[in-house]
């Protein structure tokens, strides 16, 4: 294994610089609100990947944390009239707390049992959202005011909204990078690769898994809260199991365990959902077809395959 805290090599630095230019320049070329949506879902997928990629835990209920944060942040903004930052913080706290409870219950099992328990718990949240009065059930929570960032800039300006979301996204991404490349991240990978051995080395596997679970839920909550404010709505779709499925799809499509994979996956899925909407094509079938192709032809996902090619090229040049 490489040194976990390895400094960036020139190629990676160049890639990061290029990405920065693209992300800053994008809203002047593409529609900013659409890009904001991509970033929200990208953060959702990256946070999900923190659990699946680093820790090997396939949660099938991440929509619960996404939706809970969306409802809480939306309610805080609309009914309590709290400022943007406070709404985000409340959303994150709510989903982290939920993650702690659900994580505590579910990490006791592995594999498919773990996935099913997370799904069952998430369905409970779905039915709560359906029945609780403040969520508006099928009508959803709409007309959430966006407010101002830092009390200065109105988020109703699409560019302000985009750059605020971008800052949150980049901050969260750096945090995820820091987590996966820390000693903590190494222990998570050790648990993923061989849990009994990690335990035999003296690590309390369940404690680390729970921490990863809560971190993941909290970051998913950030994405959900941000989405609720950006799109001024929180609805049952956010807590529906198909959203949990869709984030798995994004992660696998982009590249499991890579830093940028979930971002690329989210970009692909959200773009298809949006731009195919007025094409007359059956969207779900198209996305399904792409997923099948991905499984058959490039199983490491888009970014995973690309990284593989770069590695091969480097090795050839070196050899």
Q: Rule CB under 8 A: which residues touch other proteins?
A: 31, 33-34, 37, 130, 137-140, 142-143, 156, 158, 227, 231-233, 235-238, 273-274, 276-278, 280, 282-284
By beta-carbon proximity to other proteins, the closer residue of 236 and 252 is: 236
CA dihedral sign, ordered 220, 226, 230, 236:
positive
H-state helical runs in the chain: 10-29, 32-55, 63-78, 84-106, 111-131, 158-180, 183-193, 195-200, 205-231, 236-239, 241-254, 261-275, 283-297, 301-318
Q: Cα–Cα distances in Å, from 277 out to 39, 68, 183, 282, 293? A: 19, 27, 44, 9, 21
Minimum CB separation from other proteins for residue 285, in Å? 8
Closest separation between CB of residue 233 and other proteins, Å?
5
Minimum gap (Å) between residue 160 Cβ and other proteins? 15
Q: Considering beta carbons, is residue 198 or 239 the nearer one to other proteins? A: 239
Strand partners, 102: none
Q: Least separation, in Å, of the C-beta of 68 and other proteins?
A: 16
- Please, which residue, 128 or 283, has the CB nearer to other proteins? 283
In this complex, which beta carbon is closest to other proteins, that of residue 10 or of residue 133? 133
3-state DSSP assignment of residue 257:
coil
Minimum CB distance to other proteins smaller for 238 or for 301? 238
Residue 262 CB, nearest approach to other proteins (Å): 18
162 vs 37: CA distance, rounded Å: 9
């Amino acid at each position: 294994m490489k040194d976990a805290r390895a400094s960036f090599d020139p190629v990676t630095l160049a890639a990061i610089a290029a990405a920065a230019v693209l992300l800053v320049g994008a809203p002047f070329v593409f529609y900013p609100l659409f890009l904001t949506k991509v970033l929200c879902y990208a953060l959702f997928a990256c946070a999900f990947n923190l659990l699946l990629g680093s820790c090997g835990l396939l949660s099938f209920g991440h929509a619960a944390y996404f939706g809970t944060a969306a409802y809480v942040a939306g309610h805080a903004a609309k009914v309590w009239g709290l400022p943007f930052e406070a709404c985000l913080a409340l959303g994150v706290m709510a989903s982290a707390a939920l993650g702690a409870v659900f994580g505590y219950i579910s990490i006791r099992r592995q594999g498919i049992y773990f996935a099913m328990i997370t799904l069952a718990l998430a369905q409970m949240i779905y039915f709560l959202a359906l029945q609780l009065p403040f969520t508006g059930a099928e009508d959803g929570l709409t007309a959430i005011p966006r407010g101002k960032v830092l009390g200065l800039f109105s988020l109703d300006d699409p560019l302000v909204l985009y750059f605020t979301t971008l800052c949150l996204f980049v901050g969260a991404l750096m945090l995820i990078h820091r987590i996966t490349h820390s000693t903590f991240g190494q222990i998570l990978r050790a648990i993923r690769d061989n849990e009994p051995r990690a335990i035999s080395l003296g690590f309390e596997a369940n404690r680390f898994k729970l921490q990863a679970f809560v971190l993941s839920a909290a970051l998913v909550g950030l994405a959900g809260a941000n989405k609720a404010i950006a799109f001024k709505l929180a609805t049952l779709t956010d807590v529906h199991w198909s959203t949990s499925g869709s984030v798995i799809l994004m992660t696998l499509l982009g590249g499991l365990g890579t830093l940028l994979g979930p971002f690329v996956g989210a970009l692909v899925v959200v773009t298809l959902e949006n731009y195919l909407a007025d094409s007359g094509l059956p969207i779900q079938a198209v996305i399904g077809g792409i997923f099948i192709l991905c499984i058959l032809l490039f199983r490491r996902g888009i970014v995973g395959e690309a990284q593989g090619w770069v590695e091969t090229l480097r090795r050839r040049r070196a050899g």
